[in-house]
Amino acid sequence: MALDGSIFGQGIYKPREAARLIGATSQDVIRWTRGSGPNEPIWTAHYQFIEDSSEISFLDLVELRVVRALRSNGISLQAIRYAIGYAKQKFSIERPLSALIFKTDGPEILVDALENDGELISLSKKRPGQKVFRKIIDQSVSGLEYDGKQPSRWRPEFAKHVVIDPNRAFGSPLIDEAGVSTQALHREWDRYRDVKYVGRLYDIDVTLVRDAVQYEQRLTQAESAAIGQSII
């Protein structure tokens, strides 16, 4: 993808990069944002206007994280599509899954969507209620910070010093205090197996190196698990 003004501040992720961050597969990301065969994408991805582009933005990433959580809990793509359309109409917002209103009103949106679409009633005998949806949504939006009504950065809850900010390094995970890529720190640690040495290389505290290493290791584990069990 050619770099131009439309990319800065939006974040940019290849399908595998996005999949790794949310614990899905690259095939899931492409299917959900670009479609597959006769199936249309769930929404129009930010960079979809660029020919032959498969990259996604930070907002796409946030929404993919929600979709991944819903699919992991047995909610069909058909139900998700309907919920998105329902929320667009009800709240007059184009990107409901990444909007602040979904964090607060998401369970109600999903329950209302299921109840108002007769075809969906037969899709799930369990018919999850608002309490179940609240737990799913809380997990899928945890760590998000909002500027106004849209998410501006993501602080993974299991990595105290890591931030994903579309205004920094195109949205790559960084050690917030130092502005250093977690991948770079993990790569150096993997080479030398010495957090103190890596800390001296980057002139940062060893606790920051450990946090980056543990974060990247956790992403690798989640990536392997997702590949072994695609959620489609």
pLDDT digits (tens, 9 = 90+) for 174-231: 999 999 999 999 999 999 999 999 999 999 999 999 999 999 999 999 999 988 776 5
Predicted confidence (pLDDT) per residue in 78-96, tens digit: 888 988 998 898 889 889 9
Mean pLDDT over the full length of the chain: 88
pLDDT score for 42: 93
Residues whose CB falls within 8 Å of the CB of residue 30, separated by 6 or more in sequence, listed in order: 15, 36, 54
Q: What are the structural domain ranges in the chain?
A: 155-223
Please state which of the ranges 41-55, 97-111, 122-136 shows the lowest mean pLDDT: 122-136
